[in-house]
Structure 1
Amino acid sequence: MTQTISNGDFVPVRIAVLTVSDTRSLSDDKSGDTLVARLEASGHILAARDIVCDDRQAISDQLHRWSVDPQIDVVISTGGTGLTGRDVSVEAHRDVYEKEIDAFGTVFTIVSMQKIGTSAIQSRATGGVANGTYMFALPGSPGACKDAWDEILVKQLDMRHKPCNFVEIMPRLDEHLRRK
């Protein structure tokens, strides 16, 4: 983040959106569109957007590239979190994470249970940190993206959310890389 964080002020973060799909393009990427509309409506900045195929190495390569880009604070991917053979987003994310945010998947499941009942068990949403960049893997449905944003991310990516939020600790995420 390039801005100084002052207590109580909204701080826009730069967010990259990655859609994982063998069949989508930017013209029909409803889940990506949902995330972009919501993050921009919340005052954040779309830093990058891309679509990659359901390939673990391609996904992890893009996540890594964005994690080291100083113009990106957060990466949100959509798609590839299910249980089928082609669903490898979670594994790709974990290939890149330095630390996993274990409770993100738990909270997402709780939110999903309220909407889709026990079918929420089929989602493997995850979150983590790599190179000082937050990363979240969401299911590929627009509804799941809406729920994750509206119920979790919009709050945690807002400096004003109390008692704590992801933004206030963002400047310290890579402190281990700066030690001498």
Structure 2
Amino acid sequence: MAAKQTVPFTPLNIAVLTVSDTRDETTDTSGGYLADTLKQTGHHLIDKKIIKDDIYQMRAVVSNWIASTDVQAVLITGGTGFTKRDSTPEAMLPLFDKVVDGFGELFRHVSYQEIGTSTIQSRAVAGLANGTIVFCMPGSTGACKTAWGIIESQLDASHRPCNFVGQLKSAVDTCNTSRG
């Protein structure tokens, strides 16, 4: 029996977007948490922006990252609730080539253990677009910590049985995609 081949951790180029009508660099604890944590994990922070909750501004920023040859993953915090201005899912879903349904499902499952039934108001979503994985999570720092607990292993080429690294531009194949 052949030994399983191990794949080393590969740092990814990740961009962080905070969607908020009220936050700036001094008050953006969620975007700051994501930027600091991804760097501590060994990834590269390629860009970080804060923009208003506006569908077209979000699409413009994320479309540029998706089109870029430098950005392999995008982490978006904010705009996933039910207030009148929350529009991150509406902005991102048309950009996705494939929706990662499991992210939102798992996020709400894990979040239920933390905040109970209030998790039904989370519209966390993720998708693949042009070889870029995009994760959209709520704007609280606690929600970003919960989401990172799910995302981290999927951005690690050594995670088994599979991860998203093999699906990303300029990356090696690390998942048996023939399983479906």
TM-score (norm 1): 0.89
| 2:147 maps to 1:148 | yes
**Counterparts of 1:11 and 1:138, CA distance in 2:** 24
Partner of 1:93: 92
- AA aligned to 1:78 is T
| 2:161 maps to 1:166 | no
Percent identity (aligned): 46
Q: For 1:124-143, list aligned pairs within 5 A.
A: 124-143=123-142
What's the offset of the Cα at 1:95?
2.2
Partner of 1:177: none
CA contact 1:18–1:51 (8 Å) conserved in 2: yes
What's the offset of the Cα at 1:129?
1.0
Q: For 1:37-52, list aligned pairs within 5 A.
A: 37-52=36-51
CA contact 1:138–1:145 (8 Å) conserved in 2: yes
CA displacement 1:10-41 (0-9 Å, x = unmatched) = 10101000000111111210000110111011
What's the offset of the Cα at 1:86?
0.2
Over 4 Å off, 4+ runs: none
**Counterparts of 2:134 and 2:169, CA distance in 1:** 15
- AA aligned to 2:155 is L
- AA aligned to 2:151 is L
**Counterparts of 2:126 and 2:137, CA distance in 1:** 9
Instruction: Give aligned pairs, total.
Output: 167
Partner of 2:155: 157
Q: Sort the Cα spacing of 1:120 and 1:73 in 2 relative to 1 into closer, same or farther, 3 A.
A: same
Partner of 2:9: 10
Partner of 2:25: 26
What's the offset of the Cα at 1:169?
2.9
Using CA pairs under 8 Å that are at least 6 residues apart, name the structure with larger relative contact order, 1 or 2: 1
**Counterparts of 1:101 and 1:141, CA distance in 2:** 21
What's the offset of the Cα at 1:146?
0.6
**Counterparts of 2:23 and 2:167, CA distance in 1:** 35
The gaps in structure 2 that reach 5 residues or longer are 172-180
What's the offset of the Cα at 1:170?
2.2
CA contact 1:7–1:159 (8 Å) conserved in 2: no
CA RMSD of aligned residues (A): 1.5
CA contact 1:155–1:161 (8 Å) conserved in 2: yes
CA contact 1:60–1:95 (8 Å) conserved in 2: no
CA contact 1:109–1:121 (8 Å) conserved in 2: yes
SS at match of 2:26: helix
What's the offset of the Cα at 1:116?
0.7
**Counterparts of 2:162 and 2:170, CA distance in 1:** 14
- AA aligned to 2:112 is M
Partner of 1:115: 114
The gaps in structure 1 that reach 5 residues or longer are 1-5, 174-180
